[in-house]
Structure 1
Amino acid sequence: MKKRSVTSLEVAALAGVSQSAVSRCFSPNASIAPKTRERVLAAAKQLGYRPNSIARSLITRSSRTIAVVMSQLDNPFYAQMLDVASRRLQQHGYHLLLFMSGDEQESASVMGEILQSQAEGILMLAAMLSSSFAQECVARSIPVVMINRTVTFEGVSQVASDNYQGGYWVGEFLVESGCERIAFISGLPESSTSTERHRGFLDALAFHGHCCCKEARGDYDFATAQAATRELFNAKPYPDAVFAANDHMAVAVMDTLRSEMGLRVPEDVSVVGFDNTPVAAWPSYQLTTLQQPIESMVVEAIALLLAQIDSGNVSGEYKVLPIVPILRASTRCSKTVI
């Protein structure tokens, strides 16, 4: 038999306070005297009281939930981002509802579920957003903030690292390191991060009188990046450098070159990634990469989201944060490169 739930009225009676004082005690950032809080918490513990968040949301008309949308979790970069986001939201008294969204058909279904969830805001971690859904969110005054994706939709805020400049740095670095046959493995074709990194990379090569010798699609996926590596190295002359649009794919490149082709990194092929995930620093990889400011991106995005929730005004803001090159042993480095 299910045990009867203790009510806030019973806690208030035992603590000798008002019911509103009990409510304030269990509400994030609410004002309540320390001694009153102590009495309420003691009474709640004695009675076994637990606040009912569903009932509270009906009274306050605030669900205190944020929908977080992701496209994948196998990439360590996204797992890091989710960890930072969940901790930050909890600090602000918000619950996190996680939704996974892949292709367009799945995305449309997920977006419908998000609207039904009564989430107060939407945080998109490297996930795609349709223009129709963006318009509906703006019409309903639901703030949307995207991290590491860029769109041109009105009312959608975005926080990203400087992907173009990162790609430019890689192109320039590899040329100045003496590489001549430089290849590129892209992410998802519709991804703004891959597009911007690719554009900066090609611009740097062109500026120095070089071009990209070969390209292949890796789709930000480990197995697909392995297949892309085989494609790039299916005939001589082989590339002497590979820029993979993220670390996840760069690690796949290194594994494939070493285990299947007997090539050495960096003696035969220099490899560069993007993100600076923990695996990049492992002794077996020592991957040269670009560090994205995960903590700063998430903090900025959550600040934008909560500010719009508090004000009730949905607006589109765009912030770009700098990246930092991390030089390691996966690349050859000439004396002219600092």
Structure 2
Amino acid sequence: MSDAPAKVTAHDVARLAGVSQSAVSRVFTPGASASKATVAKVRAAAEQLGYRPDPLARAMITGRTRIIGLVVAYLENQFYPVALERLSRALQDRGYHILVFMAENSTEKVAEVVQELIDYRVDGIITASVSMSNDLTARLLALGIPVVNFNRGQDDARLTDITSDNVAGGRRATEFLIAGGHTRIAHVMGWQGSSTGRDRAEGFRQAMEAAGLAPIAMVDGMYARDTAAAVARELCQGPNRPDAIFVGNDHMAFAVMDELRFGLGLDVPGDISIVGYDDVPMAAWPAYDLTTIRQPVNRMVGATAEALLGLIEGTASPQKTRIDGPLMVRRSARIPQGYKP
């Protein structure tokens, strides 16, 4: 015979607290209503008995695990750890928890991870820096698992996208450089397989065309530090060196600045102005003091949580949300005369 103690159940708690079993369930269900007196009695009884609710048993009854799967391709870029922390907090405040999976941005790898999330019976999925195939999207929707793309857009009306206004941001960054008197401007683009990279490049093109300027170069930096540094070195060793570079995100911009200053001995912004995109915490460090477009991460996180929970609860439809962000002016780029933020 086993000497293991008998498992304490919700029925035991209800009997000790003098309430119904459904009242115990409401107390331990996030978002459910119960009077303060009931909550106090139930929690006191639970503490005395050592009771802990069984999330798997609750999931069997309600059909909800209250777990959100989050799929991300990489965390080297400071923007994603910051966003993940805030997403987790926002969802925890609503009684949900995040299960994070890393996946290479390939159809096969994403499909493998999503299958694992399906096995975990997640209530919804947030993707960050990865894309969903049409077949995978259809499969998830057939299973009733909604998907929200965070900081990535897809041309699929079935999916919800929450991004900054990347076209407007790319245009604003480039207009700032033009206003500073720069005419030989290059763009180290974000990965052109992503909507963010393409949209920021489109904003750059629009601003250059409106000013009657032709780009010195537009090169894909792949959102990779080493690639961006190599691109910067090649751009700035030739006779037609740019006098300004708009870089597709801060992660690459730091690499570009390091290569220019310590690899080529150039001054930033004396020789070349640099503007980035994201406004990650390191952008404000004195070592970089990077002028950059701020991604409105708090508003993006809030919109993502609201959109996903609305889809789970059946109160929302798929949407495409673009949130504008400001230019944070620091000292990595020449400030136009008379500039007022």
- The range that moved more, 63-72 or 193-202, is 63-72
Q: Secondary structure at the match of 2:337?
A: coil
Does structure 2 retain, via aligned residues, the 8 Å contact 1:177–1:336? no
Partner of residue 179 from structure 1, selected from 175, 182, 191: 182
For residues 197-222 of structure 1, what are the alpha-carbon distances to aligned partners after superposition, in whole Å with 9 as ceiling and x for unaligned? 00110111111111111233221122
Rate the CA distance shift 1:209–1:23 in 2: closer, same or farther, 3 A. same
Deviation per residue, 1:172-219 (Å, 9 max, x gap): 221221112211111222110110100110111111111111233221
> Matches of residues 278-289 of structure 1 in structure 2 within 5 Å?
278-289=281-292
Secondary structure at the aligned position of 1:31 is classed as coil
The reply to whether residue 112 of structure 1 matches residue 115 of structure 2 is: yes
Q: Give the conservation status (yes or no) of the 8 Å contact 1:189–1:219.
A: yes
Separation (CA, whole Å) in 1 of partners of 2:122 and 2:144 = 11
For residues 262 and 26 of structure 1, do their structure 2 counterparts lie closer, same or farther at Cα, with a shift above 3 Å needed? same
**Structure 1 residue 58: Cα displacement:** 0.7
8 Å CA contact 2:105–2:130 kept in 1: the answer is no
> CA deviation digits over 1:41-73, x for unaligned, max 9?
111111211111111111111111111111111
- Corresponding position of 2:228: 225
Contact 2:131 2:154 (C-alpha < 8 Å) held by counterparts: no
Q: Counterpart of 2:205?
A: 202
Determine what percentage of the aligned residue pairs are the same residue. Answer: 41
- Other structure's SS at 2:12 match: helix
2:58 match: 56
Is the CA contact 1:273–1:287 (under 8 Å) kept in the aligned structure 2?
yes
2:11 to 9, 12, 20: 9
List aligned pairs for 1:183-332, cutoff 5 A. 183-311=186-314, 315-332=317-334
Give the drift of 1:166: 0.9
CA distance in 1, matches of 2:204, 2:93: 39
Question: Once superposed, which parts of structure 1, at least 4 consecutive aligned residues long, lie more than 6 Å away?
Answer: none
- SS state at 1:200 partner: helix
Aligned-residue offset at 1:254: 0.8
One-letter amino acid of the counterpart of residue 332, structure 1? R
Tell which deviates more after alignment, 71-80 or 85-94.
71-80
TM-score normalised according to structure 2 size: 0.94
Partner of 2:157: 154
- Residues 141, 295 of structure 1: alpha-carbon distance in 2 compared, 3 angstrom cutoff: same
Distance 2:133 2:269 in 1: 41
- Structure 2 equivalent of residue 143 of structure 1: 146
Is contact 1:168–1:204 with CA below 8 Å preserved after alignment? Answer: yes
Alpha-carbon separation, structure 1, partners of 2:84 and 2:111: 22
1:331 shift after superposition: 0.4
My pick for the range that moved more, 13-22 or 260-269, is: 13-22
The root-mean-square deviation of aligned C-alpha atoms, in Å, is 1.6
SS at match of 2:216: strand
Shift of 1:289: 0.4
CA distance in 1, matches of 2:169, 2:101: 29
Say yes or no: does 1:128 pair with 2:131.
yes
Alignment of 1:67-106 (within 5 A): 67-104=69-106, 105-106=108-109
Q: Distance between the aligned counterparts of 1:162 and 1:117, measured in 2?
A: 34
Distance 1:38 1:207 in 2: 65
| Aligned residue type for 2:111 | A
> CA–CA distance in 2 between the matches of 1:264 and 1:8?
68
Structure 2, unmatched stretches of 5+, are: none
1:166 corresponding residue in structure 2: 169
Deviates more, 1:39-48 or 1:81-90: 39-48
Q: Once structures 1 and 2 are overlaid, which stretch shifts more, 193-202 or 113-122? A: 113-122
Q: Distance in 1 between matches of 2:134 and 2:4?
A: 47
Q: Distance in 1 between matches of 2:196 and 2:23?
A: 49
